[in-house]
């Protein structure tokens, strides 16, 4: 990766630039999101529940 201040090539895991001393901001780990399959199954279950409830009512 390149230093955002001086554009010198630095290692991906560097905490600071070895050339200019700029501190590399540590990015938080990406948030885990629900897989699309889980969302689809949940939506299908909700629609089935609503359909059964309407028929019974």
Distance CA 1, CA 21 (A): 15
Residue 39 pLDDT: 87
Helices (H) and strands (E) in the chain, counts: 1, 0
Residue 50 pLDDT: 94
Q: How far is CA 31 from CA 23, 24, 34, 53, 56, in A?
A: 24, 20, 10, 35, 41
Residue 6 pLDDT: 95
Phi/psi-derived region of residue 21, left when phi > 0, alpha when psi is between -120 and 50, beta in every other case? left
The pTM score is 0.43
Residue 32 pLDDT: 77
Distance CA 55, CA 43 (A): 18
Mean pLDDT by 10 residues, the chain (57 residues): 92 91 83 83 94 86
């Amino acid at each position: 990766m390149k230093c955002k201040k001086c554009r010198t090539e630095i290692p991906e895991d560097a905490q600071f630039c070895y050339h200019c001393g700029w501190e590399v901001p540590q990015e938080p780990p990406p948030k885990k999101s629900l897989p699309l399959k889980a969302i689809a199954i949940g939506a299908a279950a909700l629609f089935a529940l609503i359909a059964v409830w309407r028929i019974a009512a």
